[in-house]
Amino acid sequence: MVFPELRSTENYAMKNPAIASDLSQLSLCFFIKLVQDQGDQIVVSYARVHSNDMIVEIYPTRTEFYVGFKMFRFTSTNLYDDTWQHVCLTWENTQGVTKLYKDGQFTGHVTNNETKNYTLKAGGALVLGQEQDSIGGGFNRKQTLHGRLASINMWDKVLSESDIAAQYTNCSVPHGSVFNWSVFKSLTRGNVTVEEP
């Protein structure tokens, strides 16, 4: 899925409603190729109760993951190098821990106690390439994704390190149990295009 250089609030893919049942844990994985850019870019956002129920936001020097309006910040991973990279984020509400994997390798974890016992509510809108300031809308052009995105899937469990490594090594990703990549290919808007390998 190609998000063009000319950033626009018209460029995105959306499924609404996107999540069928409440989540106390999850894994979100995708392949991404980002061009050098000055600002932040939204890979995916989910809005049901708040506009920031779940967000993956990538900056030149850090990656931020939000669950229930609470932030997990990873500063050790640079994704702006114009090559394909595999990224997986896992979160569970028992300890409130998010783990980040890049190219099949564990790179670090962050704990946010405010997400303990939190549940991501079902029934909201999931958008690729834009951040929602209102459910299904309120986009900001400066946060639009500029790059390529593929094989984005989400599961209702924390995937094992070996499962995540296999996705990267084999480039074969099992369908996500919460949502799977194939669904979004027909839900693009604006100038987003789908390229098949």
pLDDT, tens digit, for every residue of 78-122? 788 789 999 999 999 999 999 999 999 999 999 999 999 999 999
Q: 129 pLDDT exceeds 70? A: yes
Asked whether the predicted pLDDT for residue 37 surpasses 90, the reply is: no
Please tell me the distance from the alpha carbon of residue 114 to that of residue 111, in angstroms, as a whole number: 9
Write out pLDDT tens, residues 154-169.
Answer: 999 999 999 999 999 9
Which CATH architecture fits 2-189?
Sandwich (2.60)
**Mean pLDDT in residue range 169-191:** 90
Mean pLDDT of 144-152: 94
For residue 196, what pLDDT is reported? Answer: 78
Average per-residue pLDDT in the chain?
A: 93
Selected residue with higher pLDDT from 196 and 43: 43
The pLDDT score that the predictor gives to residue 174 is 84
β partners of residue 91 = 26, 98
Place of tokens 């997400």: 115
At 197, is the pLDDT very low, low, confident or very high (cuts 50, 70, 90)? low
Using alpha carbons only, give the angle 164, 125, 121 rounded to the nearest 5 degrees.
Answer: 75
| pLDDT at residue 75, as a whole number | 92
Whole-number pLDDT of residue 38: 66
pLDDT at 136 over 70: yes
In degrees to the nearest 10, what's the CA dihedral of 170, 171, 172, 174? 110
